[in-house]
Amino acid sequence: MPQRNCLLIIAYLLTIESSHGILIRNRDEIVEKIGPLVTNAQQALFAADQIDSWVIDSLASGDVVMPGYIIHQIVEQLETPRKNTGFCHPVLSRYGICP
């Protein structure tokens, strides 16, 4: 399962790069640090949303390097245990992917 979750992160990163016309130079570092912490598709989508938000907020263009502190913030959020609120992203729910 961890390999599948890393593949999800890679797929999201490639999608983000394609949609914004950028190249994330430290993609491997992001996958190495975030991928093993992702335990389900909902967490992968959460991480991708955080990365996409950084790209938009930073007005990234061309070749970019995501700062370590941003990666660290995502890692911390994934490591923090959260109560199951019963919430499931509508897209994930549609495909029956929710935990």
pLDDT in tens, 69-78: 999 999 998 8
**What's the pLDDT at 56?**
94
Domains: count for the chain: 1
Rounded Cα–Cα distance for residues 21 and 3 (Å): 26
How would residue 1 be classed by pLDDT, with cut points 50, 70 and 90? very low
Rounded Cα–Cα distance for residues 82 and 59 (Å): 31
Look at residue 99 and tell me if it is in a domain. Answer: no
Look at residue 74 and tell me if it is in a domain. Answer: yes
**What's the pLDDT at 53?**
93
For residue range 18-64, list pLDDT tens digits in order.
999 999 999 999 999 999 999 888 899 999 999 999 999 999 999 99
Q: In terms of Cα–Cα distance, which of 39, 56, 54, 47 is closest to 99?
A: 39
Three-class DSSP category at 52: helix
**Residue 57 sits in which domain range?**
2-94
Please measure the distance between the N-terminal and C-terminal CA atoms of the chain and give it in whole angstroms: 14
